[in-house]
Structure 1
Amino acid sequence: MYQTRMFSRKFAKNAFKRWGSLSRPWSWSRNVSTWSPLGTAFNTKPEQRLNLSFDRECVGLFGIPQLKDYTGFYLLQEGACNATEELVREATARGRTRKIVEVFDQLSDTLCQVADMADFVRVAHPDDQYVNAAEDACVSISALVEKLNTNIDIHRSLKHVITHGDIVETDAIDKRVAELFMFDFEQSGIHLAEDKRRRFVELNERILMLGTQFMQGCQKPTTVSRNMLPKHLQYVFHTDKHDVQVQGLFSDHHSDLIREAAYMAYLHPDQRQMEILELLLTDRHQLARLVGFETYAHRALNGTLANTPENVRQFLDGLADKLQPKAEEDFEHLRKVKLSHGGTDRDIHPWDTAYYCGISRNEVCELGSIDLSPYFSLGGCMEGLSMLFRSLYGVSLEYTPAGYGELWSPDVHKLSVTHETEGILGYIYCDLFERGGKPHQDCHFTIRGGRQMESGTYQNPVVVLMLNLPPPNRAKPSLLTPAMVENLFHEFGHAMHSMLGRTRYQHVTGTRCPTDFAEVPSVLMEYFANDYRVLSTFARHWKTGEALPENLLNRLCQAKQMFAASDMQLQLFYSILDQEYHGKHPLGKTTTELLAEVQNQYYSIPYVKDTAWQQRFGHFVGYGAKYYSYLMSRAVASRIWQHCFKDDPFSRTMGQRFREQVLSHGGGVSPDVLVEAMLSEQPTTDRLVQSLIDDTQN
């Protein structure tokens, strides 16, 4: 019920001048830079800001009155349960006066407002009491959802409306959302006979358990006997008296031998982990067959932009053919770089790519990430994002002081997203800094979805962006590497998808849309983050205000485009393996044998014997049969960039069109319809493949 990435120098100068007339976040006095309230908030150590909330009443976490302390989760659960009972009665009543889809969406919203918020709190809150209470809330709401998903009466009411029409006049959006609710029902096996429904529940529980176990195993270090390593490598890794623990791939280490040793040890086959993966794949296949799908991939892709596994393979195979020669050029370049830097042999191995790509990019840029970071303070980047959004959409990011008790950590910032004529569109909580116990992942959480209220007002969305950036201190602000800047832009793409959407129903608001479409707005933002005209509006030294020299800006953008073909080929390999794993069963081979076969066919670096890369790939759990989404979303985003924003990345006309044709609809309209409306052309496989190939030539 709820759903738990060159133009003229004259133009660049004119663009900066135009931005300066809109807002002047920078001013110079004796070479000292000053900041707007937005920039100041993100560039200042939290302890340095005055706490003026000592005389104010606690407003509760996220401003939710019940959450003045952790016990409020139980009040929220009770309220959700009571509201659910009322809505179930309304959905099945003969005298219902509202559209069935309105009742279902309010039911979904009631559950999501507790479940989505609790799901975030249980992974991010530093207080164990809040974490435990949120975990209990997640379990409670999940049980309630499971009960609803097997409620024959509300299923019958919805099915009757879809088949015979509602008692209230409906339109295309109502019908699509009703069908999405029905699809969720049938994904849960409600239409099955009782014995098959019990089997569905059993399989679903096993899949969840196996997924958790597999994810835990992905992070587990490899332990080997010290005597298995040459003496000169025994003390490189973490050691105790007899054993060596390898906790990662050491991809950036300068020694070829150490990177190789780490690769071989960390990816050495773990029999238990591979058994878990095979059981997970088998149970997924059985569950899909139980509810009427040929394979798990067919079930997972139903209703997406790709729609079927056959379409995905046509896209991936077409890309593989055109990408191969360009990827080979990248690897030949890497071989020359390796030899020029004392590499032990001419071949490029899997443990070489990240290290020698980094060296090559730094040589082109002339400065390393550490040298560039002073030009990308977090406050400066936030001002750059706000100016970009003001230009494209007429909205600004405004720092908003949080109420007492509203935040879970003092280094979290609250932003209001304000439109120049429409007012506040929603709120973004920015949990952007590293801290102990915080998950090491960059992600977007929906806390409350947007929807049209019966009163005629709009329920504004609330989201959290979580990153792991270096925190500011008393000496300097948080300084970002170019990769961090790109990640920041990416996550704000998700946030603005939520903020700018104005859907009738929260079930399809913002990022609540098919996975291969949900990444389009965020990946599109990466193109802005890699455009020197955009970077030139905010890339300033945090202390002196000095602009990052234009030649270095151009070199930085050039360096970030290097090895695009080989990077893409690696993602292609991952995507095809994911499709193979979730295709026809039994596989006929072990997962490692299939891995070797796919890698040798689709990737320019062959499989390394006695390794099992798949046992560390946690995306098989969250993106099962959907890992291709990264490439397809990039293809769509690339086509939108090339057609709409490449000539002018500040175009209000195109920004407004993107909002109206894409962002505002969330999942309320089929993604292929939205893409065609934006581009005025059908997103055919050939066009999408060509867009990705064009990216490798820029």
Structure 2
Amino acid sequence: MNDSPEFVLGPALASGSPVVGGSKGLFGVPELSAPEGFRVAQEKALRKTEVLLELASQTPPGPQTVLIFDELSDALCQVADLADFVKIAHPDPAFREAAGEACLSIGTVVEKLNTNVELYQSLQRLLADKMLMDALDPETRRVAELFMFDFEISGIHLDEEKRKRAVDLNVKILDLSSKFLMGTNTPNKIGKHLLPEHLHRHFLLEGEHAIVDGLHAEAPDDWVREAAYKIFLYPSAGQLDCLEELLSHRDLLAKLVGYSTFAHRALQGTIAQTPETVMQFLEKLSEKLSERTLRDFEMIRGMKRKLNPQHAELMPWDPPYYSGVLRAERYNIEPSLYCPFFSLGACMEGLNLLFNQLLGISLYAEQPAKGEVWCEDVRKLAVVHEAQGLLGYIYCDFFQRADKPYQDCHFTIRGGRRQANGDYQLPLVVLMLNLPQPSRGCPTLLTPGMMENLFHEMGHAMHSMLGRTRYQHVTGTRCPTDFAEVPSILMEYFANDYRVVSRFARHYQTGQPLPKDMVSRLCESKKVGAAADMQLQVFYAVLDQLYHGKHPLGRSTTDILKETQERFYRLPYVPNTAWQLRFSHLVGYGAKYYSYLMSRAVASMVWKECFLQDPFNRAVGERYRREMLAHGGGKEPVLMVQGMLQKRPSIDDFVSALVSDLDPDFETFFMDSE
């Protein structure tokens, strides 16, 4: 690590592992010192695949079968996962293009393997032998069942004609998904003569047209937000057809491989397990939120009347803007007041301190070799346990740059697993943020939201580092979606606890600690409009369930949207709009959008019942690692939650946890009781 001001991590971190000399390829993969190396890497993976396929067919059923399958998965994932990241994040177009080609190539191989009858039969022989299955340890048994599930959702258990139909449907679904995603971000345009002249300056003008590329949700002018909402969400016939065709093909595939709906197929193995449970959760949550949501809407409506008496009715384009006005007016939470206390170096020291006290883990800066990282400002952290030594590496791609996707996310580059020689394959992950570059004499300063996002993404990274599973197929965040977000959301609770924040938040110039009342105001401000925000998420999640449930005959997705909005959000549907055509999560989270709410419910329960009294309690931290982080996806998520909470939570428990977070005094309870 260099000692530039934006990322100084302190003496303990600066004394990390010795610098490795010489030059390497990306992430230390020798072949990837040039874009052409992706072809070499994938050919190497494919040769290994051929050897393992032969081995699988010759190996008698037993635990070795599962090891071969996992090694096969690992060989392909080591290229595909790395390429998935490089194709969107590398600044060099040649690298991005080569990575994209590698993704397509490996994806094609995976599709073929998912329909390889001989490979399927080698696993089937193991699962059909009850004595052999009973003799397997729980993790190996679960991984065997997960591999079989992957086979069956591809239709391999069907006869040849139906199997071909399943392959065709999968290919079509991938194509429709890609097409729909592109459409979610495509701007809409309108003849500029149709817009009042005073609105022209708010939109991009192109000849005789105004181009609208988003909702302009933060615009102070009601007319701008209304125009953006109506134009951006105006339905495209092509996008509407694409969505309805995508949902129809998903429904056909689910039925073909033995499920009554796509939602039943998607939810197998999750915390919720069935769409019926998800709907029960969402309906109960909606009922509990009802009065709070109405109060929020009345409060927001009051602010709208105060500022714009002629626009009294509350519309769907209003809550984000007026909630922000209310927060600013009541709590004075201007980000510029907080930023000087949240330098990036201070925040990283805070994370290091927290992980050290809770989990016995330290983050050490390590100088990457030449060619190992894709941009000179990417930092490499070694994650070291006080007794177990090196656990893995986190590559921190934190700073804004041209052509970098504007999203905060965690990427698994290589999963951890126990290797045949007994060594542990160390996990590699990337954390990608979009923080401002430091300026001369001033480090990178984070807003409270940026600081919280940093903690959130680092929660994913710790899950990856501490998921010390035998198999990479279930390592770290490779677990059901409604459990995968629990560790990251839990970190948000730490990021909002004054006892944690006070240990690292210091003014970068004066060294003054962040005043307690500023943290209190920040926490309280988040409650403004929070019930309405949660109600909106319930509406989205219900809509996702309905779209992927029993396929409605003769009803458009817009009809379903209108009915669902009126029942679960209560702000009026705006005629000639189709918000669902911008709902990109329908692709990646089909039937699982509820996962954010359920993960937050679990994280809330873990925080309140385990960490609220003492966020630095080492014994609780060790239990958290042992019960929840260590297993990745190698254990049923509900059992991990049960192990941590010492009880099996009910739907009512999940709902109560979410609703109690909205109480005005929740975060300040522990501040005032100190």
CA deviation after TM superposition for structure 1 residue 454, in Å: 2.2
Determine if the alignment matches structure 1 residue 437 to structure 2 residue 403.
yes
Aligned counterpart, 1:144: 109
Aligned counterpart, 1:24: none
Aligned counterpart, 2:589: 623
Query: Residues 334 and 43 of structure 1: is their aligned pair in 2 closer, same or farther, counting only changes over 3 Å?
Result: farther
SS at match of 1:466: strand
Query: Residues 473 and 587 of structure 1: is their aligned pair in 2 closer, same or farther, counting only changes over 3 Å?
Result: farther
CA deviation after TM superposition for structure 1 residue 365, in Å: 2.8
Aligned counterpart, 1:456: 422
Aligned counterpart, 2:65: 100
SS at match of 2:411: strand
* Equivalent position to 1:264, from 213, 230, 233: 230
Q: After superposition, give the CA deviation of every residue in 1:642-677 in whole Å (9 maximum; x if it has no partner).
A: 100111111111111100000000111100111111
Aligned counterpart, 1:135: 100
Matched AA of 1:494 = H
Matches within 5 A, 1:438-587: 438-587=404-553
Determine if the alignment matches structure 1 residue 184 to structure 2 residue 150.
yes
Aligned residues: percent identity?
53
Matched AA of 2:160 = E
Matched AA of 1:151 = N
CA deviation after TM superposition for structure 1 residue 358, in Å: 1.1
CA deviation after TM superposition for structure 1 residue 166, in Å: 4.3
Rounded Cα–Cα distance in structure 1 between residues aligned with 2:650 and 2:21: 57
Aligned counterpart, 1:380: 346
Rounded Cα–Cα distance in structure 2 between residues aligned with 1:554 and 1:603: 29
Contact 2:284 2:655 in 1 (8 A): yes
Determine if the alignment matches structure 1 residue 160 to structure 2 residue 121.
no
* Equivalent position to 1:213, from 179, 182, 186: 179
Matched AA of 1:464 = V
Rounded Cα–Cα distance in structure 1 between residues aligned with 2:435 and 2:113: 40
CA deviation after TM superposition for structure 1 residue 517, in Å: 0.6
Rounded Cα–Cα distance in structure 1 between residues aligned with 2:394 and 2:325: 37
Query: Residues 539 and 588 of structure 1: is their aligned pair in 2 closer, same or farther, counting only changes over 3 Å?
Result: farther
Query: Residues 347 and 667 of structure 1: is their aligned pair in 2 closer, same or farther, counting only changes over 3 Å?
Result: same
Query: Residues 587 and 559 of structure 1: is their aligned pair in 2 closer, same or farther, counting only changes over 3 Å?
Result: farther
Rounded Cα–Cα distance in structure 2 between residues aligned with 1:304 and 1:530: 28
Q: After superposition, give the CA deviation of every residue in 1:347-369 in whole Å (9 maximum; x if it has no partner).
A: 32221111111122223332312
Contact 2:61 2:125 in 1 (8 A): no
Determine if the alignment matches structure 1 residue 119 to structure 2 residue 93.
no
Contact 2:281 2:651 in 1 (8 A): yes
Matched AA of 2:317 = W
Q: After superposition, give the CA deviation of every residue in 1:129-185 in whole Å (9 maximum; x if it has no partner).
A: 211221221122112212211111121111111111549952222111101000001
SS at match of 1:428: strand
Aligned counterpart, 1:226: 192
Query: Residues 167 and 90 of structure 1: is their aligned pair in 2 closer, same or farther, counting only changes over 3 Å?
Result: farther
Query: Residues 39 and 529 of structure 1: is their aligned pair in 2 closer, same or farther, counting only changes over 3 Å?
Result: farther
Rounded Cα–Cα distance in structure 1 between residues aligned with 2:364 and 2:267: 38
Contact 2:481 2:592 in 1 (8 A): yes
Pick which of 337-346 and 99-108 moved more: 337-346
Query: Residues 585 and 124 of structure 1: is their aligned pair in 2 closer, same or farther, counting only changes over 3 Å?
Result: same
* Equivalent position to 1:83, from 31, 42, 48: 48
Rounded Cα–Cα distance in structure 2 between residues aligned with 1:690 and 1:95: 50
Rounded Cα–Cα distance in structure 1 between residues aligned with 2:356 and 2:59: 49
Query: Residues 110 and 168 of structure 1: is their aligned pair in 2 closer, same or farther, counting only changes over 3 Å?
Result: farther
Number of equivalences: 656
Contact 1:39 1:379 in 2 (8 A): no
Rounded Cα–Cα distance in structure 2 between residues aligned with 1:541 and 1:588: 61
Contact 2:62 2:126 in 1 (8 A): no
CA deviation after TM superposition for structure 1 residue 188, in Å: 1.1
SS at match of 2:201: coil
Matched AA of 2:232 = Y
SS at match of 1:541: coil
Rounded Cα–Cα distance in structure 1 between residues aligned with 2:467 and 2:54: 30
Matches within 5 A, 1:249-398: 249-342=215-308, 344-398=310-364
Contact 1:269 1:612 in 2 (8 A): yes
SS at match of 1:561: coil
Pick which of 380-389 and 97-106 moved more: 97-106
Q: After superposition, give the CA deviation of every residue in 1:367-387 in whole Å (9 maximum; x if it has no partner).
A: 312332222112211111111
Rounded Cα–Cα distance in structure 2 between residues aligned with 1:382 and 1:522: 16
Aligned counterpart, 1:652: 618
CA deviation after TM superposition for structure 1 residue 122, in Å: 0.9
Rounded Cα–Cα distance in structure 2 between residues aligned with 1:497 and 1:361: 33
SS at match of 1:223: strand
Contact 1:581 1:587 in 2 (8 A): no
Aligned counterpart, 2:37: 72
Please report the RMSD computed on the Cα atoms of aligned residues, expressed in angstroms: 2.0
Rounded Cα–Cα distance in structure 2 between residues aligned with 1:54 and 1:305: 43
SS at match of 1:665: coil
* Equivalent position to 1:198, from 139, 143, 164: 164
Q: What TM-score does the superposition give when structure 2 sets the normalisation length?
A: 0.94
* Equivalent position to 2:74, from 88, 95, 109: 109
Rounded Cα–Cα distance in structure 1 between residues aligned with 2:2 and 2:92: 30
Contact 2:399 2:437 in 1 (8 A): yes
In structure 1, the gaps of 5 or more residues are 1-35
Aligned counterpart, 1:607: 573
Q: What TM-score does the superposition give when structure 1 sets the normalisation length?
A: 0.91
Rounded Cα–Cα distance in structure 2 between residues aligned with 1:55 and 1:206: 46
Contact 1:530 1:557 in 2 (8 A): yes
Contact 2:362 2:383 in 1 (8 A): yes
SS at match of 1:253: coil
Q: After superposition, give the CA deviation of every residue in 1:463-507 in whole Å (9 maximum; x if it has no partner).
A: 011111222222422221111111111111111100111111111
Contact 2:19 2:369 in 1 (8 A): no
Query: Residues 596 and 197 of structure 1: is their aligned pair in 2 closer, same or farther, counting only changes over 3 Å?
Result: same
Rounded Cα–Cα distance in structure 1 between residues aligned with 2:594 and 2:134: 40
Matched AA of 1:104 = F
Matches within 5 A, 1:654-673: 654-673=620-639
Aligned counterpart, 2:671: none
SS at match of 1:280: helix
